[in-house]
Chains A and B, each alone.
Chain A
């Protein structure tokens, strides 16, 4: 099976940089995804890493280290609208490639 660990809450101020970590245990590994969910809304896809290294998409970047079973989401130039929950998700052949989601990290951005 798969299990994921991420912090339950992270706080930061507007304009700052914040990193949300995710460690995983899985039988086989295919990729690590990140999703964003605002209160009362639906999750939306942010990024995907299959190989080691950094993937950048605007203010958001995602990193993966397969040897460490670890990844993170980096948010730069934080804005109030970035206050949301962020979920990492692992897909593996053992899970029919369907992502297993972590419990989510609530990011609170203060002015």
Chain B
């Protein structure tokens, strides 16, 4: 039982390049999330998927797109990377029942955009 896995762990991009961050969970969770974490800013929600087949914008969606490929996988795409997108990206999943809906986080992807 691997929990939530993310690839890659580290990435360096040049401005304007594109890339996709991959996330998978093996806990049969309904909901999945993408966050970014910047120093002193806490975790900010980029996009989420409450259930397979649905996606919604979070607090900071500009410059990103997502795909809920199936129940297990939720990917985040940067179409044209900008230095402002330098951050640590966390994927998370939860059962999705609301209330005490504990989120399980992946190990993170550390992205630098030059």
Contacts and interface: CB of A to CB of B under 8 A. Distances in A.
A97 B43 CA distance: 16
Given A31-B99, A31-B100, A42 B42 contact: no
A71 interface: no
A21 to B, nearest CB: 15
Q: Is the interface of B mostly helix, strand, loop or mixed?
A: loop
Interface residues of B, number: 25
Contacts of A103: 40-42
A101 B40 CA distance: 12
Interface string A99-110: 111111000000
B43 A43 contact: yes
Nearest to A42: B105
B107 A98 contact: no
Contact of B56 (A8, A33, A96): A96
Nearest to A103: B42
A72 interface: no
Interface of B: 33, 35, 40-45, 48, 50, 56, 58-59, 90, 98-108
Contacts of B43: 43, 87, 101
A91 B101 contact: yes
Contact of B99 (A30, A44, A96): A30
A45 B3 CA distance: 14
Contact of A50 (B56, B58, B99): B99
A106 B53 CA distance: 37
A26 to B, nearest CB: 14
